[in-house]
Structure 1
């Protein structure tokens, strides 16, 4: 979903995010009504992958669910989930490590192919979430909707999961992402967001076609499973961290918010569902606080560090590489 920044300051040549401006301690100023174009795009963002997932299920019943379909679903899911959790979240939002232009572009493009919004919107929303977690100003807190209507808890959970996308208000997103706004590479990636979304659909379709000897069935299976169904599944895992991760689960760290660890989602979220861990220490590149916690994104960042592709990685003290 695109929400264009209201300002476009002159870009500078840096190729890695800088330090974000501190968010205001009070609730954000009142914003105008929901942006109509953003609302329409939200319907597309939610509706198209949902229809695509349904189409993939029907396709599988009709033509089978092949090893190529499974491979493209898993491969594209892993790529884009790392782009979201490792890139949009830990790299761009929290500056948990630094990278040179090529790796920065990888994180930005892989995250954009998840179709959860351009990098500027995603990061601005997430930084606002941390500034006002579970309080007025948090864009997707699942707090009960105490407005006199029925089922306040269920409606709050729905809002935190996906409903918030339909109530987006046009705001000065740039105040949350001044570092990104000054970065020419990041802003170019942001500008071509829809190109990356289409790439995320075309790539599995082309691979499906090639891996099945140039068959239309292979291309269709790749588009449906590696493209649309993959977006649908990753969307709901990411949104579940917003909703379930502030409603159910354990709280080993007594943070000021209601963040919780959701162990059952750890593998699917590539480590993002250790949400209470993250809110306790948001600057770290790892969400794993004990040896048994699965954090695929943290492990991938560590591998890139060992290979010299990222640097200045913020590890828990006990997890520093040799």
Structure 2
């Protein structure tokens, strides 16, 4: 049985928005995995200029960026959150594991946060709206910081029983959630092991840990968070939606198509977000491959008539 199918209907029921606040240990862990990769990212430019970046590091970093990034976009987001397609069990588990390697939370908590975002997008209850403080320049700047990273440091957990009951009922997702800690270790230490084995040196292990572990993780974090922040302030809004979501083309490739955010909010369950001519959407292409291989079915590809009905009139 494919337990993960569609988004729950009762997102505004009597259950509270939040679960209990994170415990102290969980909060410290969150800070570590937000701050340390960011520090590594800041250190990357001077390190790359002087020493320490080899082809092996680049190849490992790109490989794990692709694996974990697609795990988030095609897996956590389009599949687990929105039910844009149905998947066989192996693909379902594989996507959940790959998404966990991005170190953005367990599948169930990630989905709960994002479904809450859609239920209250840019309104009270949205966990990361950049418009929460108002519309003045200073208020939006403060809101951008909050939407990008501040919301995660408040130690608030979206209520999983309200926003992700289907994942709580899915045994496979519960197992992957319990393995989140070990998967984080694999995401960080796996590159070091690969780098050490390929170069057969401790230096190779150390540089791979830095570039393909910390820097790769930080880069994917900030690309993902930019969809929460930048893609609700800057960009175009070709489709009517109930919020301020925008399409921001500069992030399209690195976010694997997620920055076509206005298109997504206009048609949340669609498997393709880049629905207009010339809009690159690598995640949609991957889902197409899954469909051709027989691993995915009932894919919700864009409907031209539905999109046309939501199209905003061009500016005069």
| TM-score between the two structures when normalised by the length of structure 2 | 0.89
Shift of 1:291: 3.1
Pick from 142, 155, 172 the counterpart of residue 155 of structure 1.
142
Distance 1:173 1:94 in 2: 15
Distance 1:145 1:169 in 2: 18
Pick from 273, 276, 289 the counterpart of residue 303 of structure 1.
289
Distance 1:162 1:275 in 2: 18
Render the CA deviation track for 1:208-263: whole Å, top value 9, x for unaligned. Answer: 12322x11122112111111101100110000000010001000002110000000
Distance 2:157 2:248 in 1: 32
Residue 53 (structure 1) aligned with residue 53 (structure 2): no
Instruction: Please state whether the residue corresponding to 1:315 is helix, strand or coil.
Output: coil
Contact 2:290–2:296 (8 Å) recurs in 1: yes
Pick from 113, 117, 128 the counterpart of residue 105 of structure 2.
117
- Which residue of the partner structure matches residue 4 of structure 1? none
**Where does structure 2 lack aligned partners over 5 or more consecutive residues?**
305-316
Render the CA deviation track for 1:148-207: whole Å, top value 9, x for unaligned. Answer: x99322111111111101123245322111110111011100111011111112222222
Distance 2:157 2:42 in 1: 32
Distance 2:68 2:293 in 1: 21
Residue 267 (structure 1) aligned with residue 243 (structure 2): no
- Which residue of the partner structure matches residue 160 of structure 2? 173
Residue 138 (structure 1) aligned with residue 123 (structure 2): no
From the superposition, tell whether residues 228 and 27 of structure 1 become closer, same or farther in structure 2 (CA, over 3 Å). farther
- Which residue of the partner structure matches residue 206 of structure 2? 220
Render the CA deviation track for 1:78-133: whole Å, top value 9, x for unaligned. Answer: 11110110100001000111112211111011100000111111000000000000
Pick from 178, 183, 192 the counterpart of residue 205 of structure 1.
192
Alignment of 1:286-301 (within 5 A): 286-301=272-287
From the superposition, tell whether residues 152 and 267 of structure 1 become closer, same or farther in structure 2 (CA, over 3 Å). same
Distance 1:211 1:278 in 2: 41
Residue 282 (structure 1) aligned with residue 273 (structure 2): no
Worse overlay, 99-108 or 122-131: 99-108
Tell me the number of residue pairs that the alignment of Structure 1 and Structure 2 aligns.
303
Pick from 182, 206, 224 the counterpart of residue 195 of structure 1.
182
Distance 2:101 2:17 in 1: 32
- Which residue of the partner structure matches residue 307 of structure 2? none
**Where does structure 1 lack aligned partners over 5 or more consecutive residues?**
1-13
- Which residue of the partner structure matches residue 7 of structure 2? 20
Q: Which has the higher contact order (CA 8 A, sep 6+)?
A: 1
From the superposition, tell whether residues 271 and 106 of structure 1 become closer, same or farther in structure 2 (CA, over 3 Å). same
Residue 313 (structure 1) aligned with residue 306 (structure 2): no
Distance 2:243 2:289 in 1: 32
